Amino acid sequence: MQNQTPVTDYKKTKGLIYFARMLDKIRLYAAGRLAPGYFVGVEDPTFFDSRCTRFLGVDYDELAKRTIEGGSDEEILKWCFTHGRRPTEEEVEIWNAFLVKRGWRDEGSADLAEAKKRNGWENRDDIQTWVDLHDAEEGRTPGRSLG
């Protein structure tokens, strides 16, 4: 079975970025197709999966179980709204802005610099955030999926 990378962080589900990527990682991991090196779950509270499930007020393991049961990303997000919380439009806007800027002039900057160095990309100015790094690692042009 061939390993795959998940969809870009920028993919929106009802306006919310990253959620589709988290579900994609869950599905790929369950199928044994997630490429090595991906964080899946909530073992570190700073990882995006942890932040996203806290934002939605759902338990990661319950979300993973629901995701494996099947359904579209939109259906699973609706499940989150029922079993957790439904953020307002403004909260979604703040979430999206936070995520696309994580690693740029904030507490995540040092870790991002280390990750760039591990990849030999310390001089790549197009990688400013963790989302940029994800896109670069997966063969997409950083920032191109924004919109």
How does the average pLDDT of the chain come out, rounded? 94
Tokens 């509270």 correspond to 45
Q: What is the pTM for the complete model shown?
A: 0.92
**What pLDDT digit, counting tens, does each position of 11-56 carry?**
999 999 999 999 999 999 999 999 888 988 888 888 999 999 999 9
Give the model's pLDDT for residue 42: 85
- Please say whether the beta carbons of 59 and 31 come within 8 A: no
Q: Which helix (H) or strand (E) holds 16?
A: strand 16-17
Query: What whole-number percentage of the chain has pLDDT above 70?
Result: 97
In DSSP terms, 4 is beta-bridged to 34
